[in-house]
């Protein structure tokens, strides 16, 4: 499906019926990382999964994509789909967006799943690294970004044993626009810390991390779960930063149990 959202064409799926779930992918990816969850959860719930602006099949306007731009896109998409409060599931950059969405649209979040993400802002070194990668994308294209990020995107065991999944993730990255890559990288670098928000989160919250995540260590998930009142923590075995694809069956079971508890 395609919707014109904030003057940008966004591609998305809206499948199933019942309690609505909004799946928000990370960088530099697309809703394709959620395909196992879309297939499993849409049997019981309504699942909405967009390609964020600049990613997947969505339009890629030039400029910096601040997290509030993504959050406003999501809110407008929910309005266009006449969708009430959602369980918001944010992976990596999608988690950063979820924090911004929660600040702006608290009443539209029925539950929160923070998936392989962190609450803190980038260090100065991290900001410089993102800018360097944005410039590399502009010079050399999406393949250069995939080359740099792919070795860290999956757990080491996944990379060595599942070449088909490595190839799939590479293709997802290559489909991301250069404008989308540069815009998102600069937006992530500019994002504020959300650490101060954590104790104020009132929505039921589930924190998920892959035990083999080479990008965001599990200590980040553990710290978020301690700081958010009554948050649940689940660590996914045999998975890295893309646990939704690496160990889909375990992720699906955990998400389904959480969603049933909210119902």
CA separation for the pair 216, 198 (Å, rounded): 18
pLDDT, one tens digit per residue, over 41-69 is 999 999 999 999 999 999 999 999 999 99
- Is residue 71's pLDDT more than 90? yes
What does the pLDDT read at residue 209? 98
With a pLDDT cut of 70, the percent of the chain lying above it is: 100
pLDDT range class, residue 102, cuts 50, 70, 90: very high
What does the pLDDT read at residue 110? 97
Neighbouring residues of 153: CB distance < 8 A, sequence distance ≥ 6: 169, 214, 215, 240, 241, 242
Instruction: Output the six-digit token pair for 246.
Output: 């690496």
- Sign of dihedral through CA atoms 209, 201, 106, 124? negative
**Average per-residue pLDDT in the chain?**
97
CA separation for the pair 218, 168 (Å, rounded): 25
pLDDT, one tens digit per residue, over 157-174 is 999 999 999 999 999 999
pLDDT, one tens digit per residue, over 175-210 is 999 999 999 999 999 999 999 999 999 999 999 999
Neighbour-count burial of 177, counting CB atoms closer than 10 A to its CB (0-12 exposed, 13-18 middle, 19+ buried): buried
CA separation for the pair 56, 30 (Å, rounded): 5
pLDDT, one tens digit per residue, over 217-262 is 999 999 999 999 999 999 999 999 999 999 999 999 999 999 999 9
DSSP 158-197: HHHH-HHHHHHHHHHHHTS-HHHHHHHHHHHHHPPP-GGG
CA separation for the pair 38, 48 (Å, rounded): 8
CA separation for the pair 74, 119 (Å, rounded): 20
Token look-up 């009430």 returns 84
What does the pLDDT read at residue 263? 80
Indicate the CATH number of 2-262 among 3.90.1150.10, 3.40.50.1820, 3.40.50.300, 3.40.50.1220: 3.40.50.1820
Of 52, 21, 18, 55, residue with least CA distance to 38: 21
């Amino acid at each position: 499906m395609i919707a014109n959202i904030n003057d940008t064409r966004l591609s998305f799926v809206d499948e199933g019926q019942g309690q609505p779930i909004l799946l928000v992918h990370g960088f530099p990816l697309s809703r394709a990382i959620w395909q196992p969850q879309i297939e499993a959860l849409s049997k019981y719930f309504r699942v909405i999964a967009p390609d964020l602006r600049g990613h997947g099949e969505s339009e890629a306007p030039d400029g910096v994509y601040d997290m509030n731009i993504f959050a406003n896109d999501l809110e407008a998409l929910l309005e266009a789909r006449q969708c009430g409060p959602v369980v918001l599931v944010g992976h990596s950059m999608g988690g950063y967006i979820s924090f911004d969405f929660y600040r702006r649209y608290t009443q539209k979040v029925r539950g929160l799943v923070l998936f392989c993400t962190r609450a803190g802002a980038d260090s100065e070194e991290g900001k410089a690294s993102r800018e360097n990668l944005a410039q590399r994308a502009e010079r050399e294209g999406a393949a250069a970004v995939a080359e740099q990020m792919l070795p860290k995107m999956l757990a080491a065991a996944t990379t060595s044993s599942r070449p088909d999944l490595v190839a799939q993730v590479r293709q997802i990255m290559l489909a991301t626009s250069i404008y989308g890559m540069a815009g998102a990288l600069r937006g992530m670098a500019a994002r504020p810390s959300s650490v101060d928000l954590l104790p104020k989160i009132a929505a039921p919250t589930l924190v998920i991390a892959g035990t083999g995540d080479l990008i965001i260590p599990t200590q980040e998930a553990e710290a978020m779960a301690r700081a958010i009142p009554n948050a649940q923590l689940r660590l996914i075995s045999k998975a890295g930063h893309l646990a939704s694809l690496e160990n889909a069956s375990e992720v699906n079971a955990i998400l389904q149990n959480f969603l049933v508890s909210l119902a």
